[in-house]
C-alpha cells in the first residue's frame, strides 16, 4: 500500500490545482475577449502621447498610431486627436511627432487635431 500524503502536502497540491485552474480559465477568457471587436463609430479617435526620440516615434507610439490610423481608415471617426507635450530637453512635442507620422501614413493633415500642452493623462 502506497504511503499516505500528509495533510499539508494534500492542501498544497489542492491549492496548486486551484491556482492552475484559475490561470487556465483567465487565459481562455482573455483569448476569447481579444477576438471581440469593440470598435464603433465616434466623433474622434484620441491617441495619447508616449515617448518620442528627437522627433522619431517610439515603438509604443508607433503601435498606438498604427491602430488609430487603421480605425480611421475604416471610417470609424473623421478626426484623429494626437496628444503629448514637449518634455525637458525635447525640441518638439509628442503630438507634433504623432501628426507627422500620421501624415506620412496617409492621413490628411486637416483630419488631425493636436493637443500639445498636457504632460500627463490628467492634464
pLDDT, one tens digit for every residue, the chain (123 residues): 566 778 888 999 999 999 999 999 999 999 999 888 888 999 999 999 888 888 889 999 999 999 999 999 999 999 999 999 887 777 889 999 999 999 999 999 999 999 988 767 776
Could you give the percent of the chain with pLDDT greater than 90?
Answer: 64
Which pLDDT does position 117 carry in this prediction?
81
86/111 same-domain check: yes
28/80 same-domain check: no
Cell numbers for 70 = 487603421
Q: Structural domain of residue 96, as residue ranges?
A: 45-115
Which pLDDT does position 79 carry in this prediction?
97
Which H or E run includes 102? helix 94-104
| Angle between helical axes of 94-104 and 59-73 (0-180°, round to 10) | 50
110/56 same-domain check: yes
59/89 same-domain check: yes
Which pLDDT does position 1 carry in this prediction?
58
72/55 same-domain check: yes
67/110 same-domain check: yes
Which pLDDT does position 36 carry in this prediction?
84
Total structural domains within the chain = 2
Query: Distances in Å between the alpha carbon of 99 and those of 6, 9, 35, 67, 85?
Result: 65, 60, 29, 14, 13
56 bridge partner residues: 53
70/10 same-domain check: no
Q: What's the mean pLDDT when you consider all of the chain?
A: 90
26/72 same-domain check: no
Amino acid at each position: 500500500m502506497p504511503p499516505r500524503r500528509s495533510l499539508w502536502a494534500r492542501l498544497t497540491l489542492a491549492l496548486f490545482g486551484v491556482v492552475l485552474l484559475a490561470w487556465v480559465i483567465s487565459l481562455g477568457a482573455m483569448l476569447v475577449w481579444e477576438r471581440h471587436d469593440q470598435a464603433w463609430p465616434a466623433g474622434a479617435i484620441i491617441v495619447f502621447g508616449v515617448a518620442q526620440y528627437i522627433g522619431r516615434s517610439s515603438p509604443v507610439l508607433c503601435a498606438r498610431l498604427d491602430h488609430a490610423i487603421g480605425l480611421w481608415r475604416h471610417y470609424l471617426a473623421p478626426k484623429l486627436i494626437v496628444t503629448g507635450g514637449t518634455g525637458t530637453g525635447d525640441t518638439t512635442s509628442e503630438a507634433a511627432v504623432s501628426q507627422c507620422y500620421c501624415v506620412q501614413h496617409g492621413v490628411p493633415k486637416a483630419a488631425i487635431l493636436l493637443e500639445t500642452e498636457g504632460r500627463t493623462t490628467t492634464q
